[in-house]
Structure 1
């Protein structure tokens, strides 16, 4: 009987492992953005144009999702070349030393229908900190181009510049310490 239990448990674990599905970001339909307040009166938006992301999940509601994201810090774009150059410098992202920022999931907690708390580790400027974002699972549809399905997500939240030693010379009155983060992602199931 004990042997039968061990065989059944091994079969269940194998089934669970095979049930995990990988989803890759569709960059043409996804965006990674941020907003900072300048001089306490004006919001400045930016984005990272070069990034990759994937999700691994076994449950159809993505309640067990593991997100992984890497963005090229040199791809930061606010629409103003001089500001972008400053953001790439050692004052902020220091892209020569820290060419990427990364996020990996440590846990997902359901808060309501299709809404979750997404917890993970964010690494920027060589500093890794735990962060928590709001995650909205927008649904899964059959791909209009045929083939595998697509799933949509929106992630929102705030991080603090000071936590990652970004722009330490510039106080909150010049550039807000709190930076709003928003990511809209469309992910295709891996083939």
Structure 2
């Protein structure tokens, strides 16, 4: 009987220690941005207004985190209606046929204190390719309003639009091949 109790207690402790926690994005305190260089001389910034993201982790330092996000491409905004309309067209996002941009992580590795490399699959304009982003875990704090734990993250990285056949009609002298992505996220721990 004592052995059965020890086995049950061990199983319970193992299950509790390895329990996954889901963190959901607080959109009021988060953003998804991108930057591309125009005519080799000027950076143009844009944002996505509609997106969702989550992080799942068992470890409190997020060293085992699984990151995923989905962006609604029709929500692209560069503060210029004409340019935004062109970005939504088949020349770029083709929002009528390819309404989402997605990322699902497949691995994470620690590079220094609170800094990680996150690898995964990025789907842009219907093309899926491996991508790697830097993830900075900025800390966890109890939100004084909700009394829930909130964690802060910043995800940054650069992709090549040519890898995704994105905007292929426009050479790098018009628009840089490199597109920088930066997302700041505040995530609430699921209750």
SS in 2 for 1:15: helix
- Segments of 5+ residues of structure 1 without an aligned counterpart are none
Question: Partners in 2 of 1:125 and 1:12 — Cα distance?
Answer: 45
Match of 2:57 in 1: 57
TM-score normalised by structure 1 residue count: 0.93
Residues 110-189 of structure 1: pairs in structure 2 closer than 5 A: 110-189=110-189
Question: Partners in 2 of 1:92 and 1:12 — Cα distance?
Answer: 51
Q: What is the Cα deviation at residue 77 of structure 1?
A: 0.3
SS in 1 for 2:162: helix
Q: What is the Cα deviation at residue 14 of structure 1?
A: 3.2
- Segments of 5+ residues of structure 2 without an aligned counterpart are none
TM-score normalised by structure 2 residue count: 0.93
SS in 2 for 1:87: helix
Question: Partners in 2 of 1:13 and 1:46 — Cα distance?
Answer: 45
Report the CA distance shift for 1:188/1:93 in structure 2 as closer, same or farther (over 3 A): same
Question: Partners in 2 of 1:126 and 1:9 — Cα distance?
Answer: 46
Match of 1:43 in 2: 43
**Most deviating of 138-147 and 7-16:** 7-16
Question: Partners in 1 of 2:115 and 2:24 — Cα distance?
Answer: 20
* 2:25 pairs with 1:28: no
* 2:10 pairs with 1:14: no
**Deviation string for 1:25-67 (max 9, x for gaps)?**
0001000000000000010000110000011100000000101
Match of 1:90 in 2: 90
**Deviation string for 1:96-151 (max 9, x for gaps)?**
00001100111110000000001111001111111001110000001121421000
Question: Partners in 2 of 1:188 and 1:173 — Cα distance?
Answer: 42
| Aligned-residue CA RMSD (Å) | 1.7
